[in-house]
Amino acid sequence: MTPTITAFERSPDRGRALARDMRVRWALEEVGQPYEVRLLSFSEMKESAHLKLHPFGQIPTYEEGDLALFESGAIVFHIAEQHAGLLPEDASARARAITWMFAALNTVEPPILDRGIATLLEHDKTWYEERLPILEDRVRVRLGELSTRLGDADWLDDAFSAGDLLMVTVLRRLNGSGLLDRYPNLSAYVARGEARPAFKRAFDAQLAVFAGTPPTG
């Protein structure tokens, strides 16, 4: 059964794949699962039809027959459980990969998000100039720790996994900030993720929506 996901009708990032449908698209591309996309305006996301699928009125959602999911991490996990390719078979390696999924979303993403929200919504506040360095220091702490752990490895725990997929999408939120520059191994890690054919297919698909040229057929 072909799953349907939701995404922004017009993404505020102008197609740079920073919204969270990108994680889901990338996961589906990695496992070779075709999917359909239902595009939503900001007002449609808050209407009752969508709120039945997503209690917080956000994207992405995932529908597959009777199953309806929200939360990008849970959706990626579901895809990884249903298909080979995103989680190792070995039980211990699988548990470690899942640990990295949680680390990406619960430990690395929050300070990156706090900084992103401040730069987007709080730059005109009187306290912004004082607060930004504090937020950036918190991001640097996590980047330093992650950089040390990654070392010169290609991926966080041997083979590419859903943990790397989520971590790369989280780190991409720093694109243009200059914060990754101090950590060449993390910049290379993100570039390695972005070079994967599945990433490129997912990127192109969401960019086509923004550009108004969704692929046909």
Residues lying near ligand GTB in the complex (CB under 6 A) are found at 11-13, 18-20, 45, 57-60, 71-73
Least separation, in Å, of the C-beta of 200 and ligand GTB?
Answer: 19
Least separation, in Å, of the C-beta of 61 and ligand GTB?
Answer: 9
Of 88 and 193, nearer to ligand GTB (C-beta) is: 193
Report how far apart, in Å, the C-alpha atoms of 206 and of each of 72, 109, 120 are.
15, 21, 22
Of 120 and 195, nearer to ligand GTB (C-beta) is: 120
Q: Are 23 and 30 in contact (CB under 8 A)?
A: no
Least separation, in Å, of the C-beta of 65 and ligand GTB?
Answer: 21
Of 13 and 157, nearer to ligand GTB (C-beta) is: 13
Report how far apart, in Å, the C-alpha atoms of 128 and of each of 16, 148, 204 are.
26, 30, 35
Least separation, in Å, of the C-beta of 92 and ligand GTB?
Answer: 27
Helix segments in the chain, DSSP class H = 21-31, 42-45, 48-53, 72-82, 91-102, 109-121, 128-150, 162-172, 184-194, 197-211
